[in-house]
Structures are given as C-alpha cells and as structure tokens.
Amino acid sequence: MSDINISALAVGEALPERSHTATNVSLFLYNAIIWNPHRIHYDETYTTQVEKHPGVVIDGPLQGDWLNQVVLNWMGDNGTLTSFNYSNRRASYLGETLTSGGAITAIDKQAGTVDLEIFIKNEKGDVITPGTAQVRYS
Amino acid sequence: MSELISAEAKSWIGRSGEPQRVEINRTDIIKYSIATEQRQAKYLQGDEAPPMFMFGALRPLVPMSELGPDGISVDKFLPELPLKRVMAGGTEMKFHRTIHPGDVLRATRSLSDIIEKQGSTGPLIFVVYDLRVETEAGELVMEERQTRILR
C-alpha cells in the first residue's frame, strides 16, 4: 500500500468494491479459528431441518470483517482506523456471492478525519450489512 | 413501561463479568487472516491482528458438556427475560491501539442497559453490553458496544 493524500479526497468518492464467495471450507476455517461450534455454519441437514434456514448460514461477524477490510485496504499506510460500526440486517447463505464497498461521507481536514459509509450487498443488490467507519490521518 | 423487564432483571444493569485474560499469538492471527481473506502482509504474516480479531479471541471456552445440541453454550451473562428469540443488533467499536503477538490483554464485559421498545411486530427488549479490552498495564486497546435484540 501507499499513503493517501487527504486533500485529494472528495465526499461521495467510492471505495473499491470486492466480491466474497464463502465456501464450506472457508466457513469451516473461520468458525474453527473463532471457536464457534454453532451447527448452522457447517451442518446443512441440521440447519435446514431444525433451525429452518434455507441453507448454511454465512456468519454475521465474518461479513463484519469483510466490511472492515473495505476500509483497511483503502485507507493507505498513513491512515488509522479509529471507529467501526456495523449491523447484520439480513441473513446470507452459502452459495451467495456478496459484494463489499463504500463511499466517503465527510472529510474534516483540520481534524484529519474521513468518515465512510460501507456496505455488504447480496446478489439482488440489497444492503444486508451496513456500516460506518472513521479513519484518522496524522 | 418496563412491564416485561422484572426488577430482578433490572438489577443486572451495571454488572460486569469476570475479566478474561488473552495471550495473543502469531499463529492464531495467521489462521484468522487466512480464514477472513485478508490482503495485507502484516496480517497474513501475523505481525499485527486485524481489528476484528478480538471477536474470535474472546469467544467462550467451555467444556464440551456445556454445549447444547445446536453447538452453542448458554450465555450465563443474561438475566431471565420473557422474550427468547435473540437477534444480533449493532456493533460499535473504537480502536485505540493495534494488537500484536506477545500482547497479553484483559477483557471485561458489562451489561450496560436493558430497554423495552415497541416494534412493528410486537414488543422488543434491547440488551446492551460494553466490552473493554486493556493491556495488563491498563492501557486501553479497544472498546465495543454490542446490542442484542430479543423478540
């Protein structure tokens, strides 16, 4: 990465989008490292028959991390992530491809801060995990 | 108001759980970074933990006998409330310092509020938790406010 010049940024500017397609393997590894044994993330029969989901559930906090990475991978080496908020509004299931992205909502050159609105969208284009973040430049 | 939240449940507001001590190690950071498809070398090599890493590092470690048939352990840090279906609300995080291998951190969770609200489909109860993560020396590392919605 390189540095970001805050003077060159503009409100409304979009952050790079990225697509994420979870697999059985990636969900297994994620739930293993976060030590989450909830069966809805790896046991399809249980998930559909007992908890009545249409498929294996993609973890909300995993989407939170993908959302977080929209900021981390954009903000440059001179940026510091100071705050990050998100909420999982709608569930997402194995087989779906999700798209992450965002845009600049405010710039305070005096304080050296940039406010961002970030999102995870499903294939229909609905925002299922919205969020906000602030990056500080010194 | 507050017909759903008993005086006993209200008395939980302000309570803190036992502080949890966590040793940060490089291998766990690398595993987390692979599983979340991080792109930066400092995360993939385990030199620094991605900001969301603590979510996994603080999950409960309980014996197998305490896991239900769904795989989940019962959260003991929740008072008896009449609504049972839990939905994730929002998560707000503030970062004060990055996390690195070798750090020894102390995390404390408090139950900050229990609020009754009227939703479009019926009553809702919002349970608000505050998490504070510090170094052993008391330096603030991160703060997180998590809201759970019961319906």
How close A8 comes to chain B (CA, Å)? 24
The vertex-A39 CA angle with A36 and A42, nearest 5°, equals 90
User: What pLDDT was estimated at residue B2?
Assistant: 57
Show the domains of chain B with their CATH numbers: 7-150 (3.10.129.10)
Return the number of CB contacts < 8 Å for A and B: 88
**Helix, strand or coil, per DSSP, at residue A104:** strand
Taking contacts as CB-CB distances below 8 angstroms, the residues of chain B near A82 are 94-95
Q: Kindly tell me the burial class for residue B86, based on how many C-beta atoms sit within 10 Å of its own C-beta (0-12, 13-18, 19 or more).
A: middle
Complex-level ipTM = 0.97
Q: What is the pLDDT of residues A103-128, one digit of tens each?
A: 999 999 999 999 999 999 999 999 99
Q: What is the pTM of this model?
A: 0.95
The domains of chain A are located at 11-21+59-137
Structure tokens at A7: 């003077």
Check pLDDT > 70 for residue A59: yes
We find that the CATH architecture of domain A11-21+59-137 is: Roll (3.10)
Q: What is the pLDDT of residues A64-105, one digit of tens each?
A: 999 999 999 999 999 999 999 999 999 999 999 999 999 999
CB-nearest partner of A84 from B32, B88, B93: B93
The residue of chain B nearest to residue A2, with distances taken between CA atoms, is: B40
| Inter-CA distances, B16 with A121, B13, B47, B52, B90, Å | 36, 9, 32, 22, 20
Question: Per the CB < 8 Å rule, is A33 touching B93?
Answer: no
Which residues, including other chains, have CB under 8 Å from residue A72's CB and lie 6 or more apart? A81, B38, B40, B50, B51
Chain B contact residues (CB < 8 Å to A): 28, 31-32, 34-40, 50-52, 55-56, 59, 61, 67, 70-72, 88-95
Taking contacts as CB-CB distances below 8 angstroms, the residues of chain B near A86 are 90-91
Q: Which amino acid is at A54?
A: P
Check pLDDT > 70 for residue A25: yes
In this prediction, the residues of chain B whose per-residue pLDDT falls under 50 are: none
Taking contacts as CB-CB distances below 8 angstroms, the residues of chain A near B126 are none
The residue of chain B nearest to residue A81, with distances taken between CA atoms, is: B95
A20 at B interface, C-beta within 8 A: yes
In the block, which residue shows the tokens 């939703």? Answer: B119
